[in-house]
């Protein structure tokens, strides 16, 4: 099972999810760590190759952007509440910057 590595404020952001959404996030991230698919996800190729988004629909809309294709860990790049139909450019750019950052820190 791959370890989880949270980049930037991701872990603190995830801790601010409502309890039920946080629990679902834990189940989904555990599945990803074991090489399985989360309950609801989609690729986020706009950010980079191999980057995916977990979608949680509990007490609002919550998202976790991660990359699991790297051999050493599952990197969580961004965790946030989604308030609009389309993912905000700021959220995409933050995940992209953090993806670039892990290239220097692995």
Helix (H) or strand (E) holding 22: helix 19-33
Q: What is the pTM of this model?
A: 0.94
Domains and CATH numbers, the chain: 4-105 (3.30.2310.20)
Query: Could you tell me whether strands 74-81 and 62-67 are parallel, antiparallel, or unpaired per DSSP bridges?
Result: antiparallel
Residue in 95, 91, 29, 96 with CA at minimum distance from that of residue 56: 29
Q: Give the position of tokens 């820190």.
A: 105
pLDDT for the residue 39? 96
Instruction: Say whether pLDDT at 10 is over 90.
Output: yes
Convert the pLDDT of each residue in 24-66 to its tens digit. 999 999 999 999 999 999 999 999 999 999 999 999 999 999 9
Beta carbons within 8 Å of 72's beta carbon, 6+ residues apart: 2, 3, 106
């Amino acid at each position: 099972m791959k370890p989880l590595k949270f980049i930037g404020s991701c872990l603190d952001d995830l801790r601010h999810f409502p309890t039920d959404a946080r629990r679902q996030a834990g189940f989904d991230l555990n599945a990803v760590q074991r090489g399985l698919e989360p309950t609801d996800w989609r690729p986020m190729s706009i950010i980079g190759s191999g980057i995916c988004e977990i979608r949680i629909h509990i007490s609002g809309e919550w998202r976790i952007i991660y990359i699991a294709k790297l051999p050493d860990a599952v990197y969580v790049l961004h965790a946030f509440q989604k308030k609009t139909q389309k993912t905000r450019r700021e959220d995409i750019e933050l995940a992209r910057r953090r993806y670039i950052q892990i290239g220097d820190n692995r």
